[in-house]
């Protein structure tokens, strides 16, 4: 039987798992080169997943997918001594997320809802539209990563990978706040309840 206890994971765990490997990649790149940074992100990702499992006794699906792709494309980069693979890794990750979300919508299952439903209580229409928006955002980010690594220097791409993708993701999520508020039925019901109570006084 699955445990119903709330997660007791410390607040520092999720940022460490999500951003620790990126920090290792960035630091080692500027101290060494892209091959050394590839080894660093592979090792840091493995350590982050092991730490997550040790603390939470589970590994969240999205970090697991990302770690698998890091392992495959990082391994190809080192084996073939070709940095094309590690540069394509963000593209593949974004495309996988987009395809999964679009596939869920095809079967009338907005997959963001089970992931974020406790934090963002949206109505069904809101989840469908938000899932589509995230899928389109991931497709745009995949295209942007391809454009950057194919046309810019490696230094520029590394900075874009570590800071640019994160900043654009933050801006995108922030831009959806007004939309999400408009699709939160709990808030509307509370407002209606207060209005009814005031009318009855």
Gap between the Cα atoms of 21 and 186, Å rounded = 38
| pTM for the full predicted model | 0.80
Whether 148 has a pLDDT exceeding 90, the answer reads yes
- Between the CA of residue 82 and those of 22, 32, 56, 159, what are the distances in Å? 20, 16, 36, 19
DSSP letters for 128-171:
HHHHHHHHHHHHHHHHHHHHHHHHS-HHHHHHIIIIIHHHHHHH
Instruction: Give the single-character DSSP code of 58.
Output: S
Final residue in a domain of this structure, among 64, 80, 96: 80
Note the pLDDT of residue 186.
Answer: 54
Are 91 and 168 members of one domain? yes
Are 129 and 55 members of one domain? no
Q: Which domain holds residue 57?
A: 11-80
**Residue at 5 is within a domain:** no
pLDDT in tens, 6-50: 456 677 778 888 899 999 999 999 999 999 999 999 999 999 999
* Domain count within the chain: 2
Are 42 and 90 members of one domain? no
CA angle 19, 24, 30 (to 5 degrees): 125
| Stretch among 39-53, 136-150, 186-200 having the lowest mean pLDDT | 186-200
**Residue at 63 is within a domain:** yes
Are 72 and 126 members of one domain? no
**Residues whose CB is less than 8 angstroms from the CB of residue 56 and which lie 6 or more positions away in sequence, other chains included:** 7, 9, 13
Average pLDDT estimate for 76-103: 95
**Residue at 6 is within a domain:** no
Final residue in a domain of this structure, among 27, 62, 80: 80
**Residue at 185 is within a domain:** yes
């Amino acid at each position: 039987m699955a445990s119903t206890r709330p997660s007791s994971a410390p607040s520092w765990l999720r940022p460490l798992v999500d951003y620790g490997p990126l920090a290792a990649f960035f630091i080692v790149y500027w101290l060494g080169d892209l091959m050394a940074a590839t080894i660093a992100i592979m090792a840091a990702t493995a350590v982050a997943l092991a730490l997550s499992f040790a603390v939470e006794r589970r590994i969240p699906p999205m970090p697991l997918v990302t770690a698998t792709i890091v392992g495959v494309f990082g391994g190809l980069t080192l084996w073939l001594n070709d940095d094309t693979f590690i540069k394509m890794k963000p593209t593949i990750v974004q495309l996988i997320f987009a395809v999964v979300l679009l596939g869920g919508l095809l079967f009338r299952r907005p997959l963001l809802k089970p992931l974020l439903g406790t934090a963002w209580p949206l109505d069904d229409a809101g989840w469908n539209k938000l899932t589509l928006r995230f899928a389109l955002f991931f497709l745009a980010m995949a295209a942007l990563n391809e454009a950057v690594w194919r046309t810019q220097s490696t230094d520029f791409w590394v900075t874009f990978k570590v800071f640019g993708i994160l900043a654009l993701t933050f801006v995108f999520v922030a831009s959806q706040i007004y939309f999400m508020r408009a699709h939160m039925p709990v808030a509307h019901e509370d407002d209606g309840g207060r209005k009814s109570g005031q009318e009855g006084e």
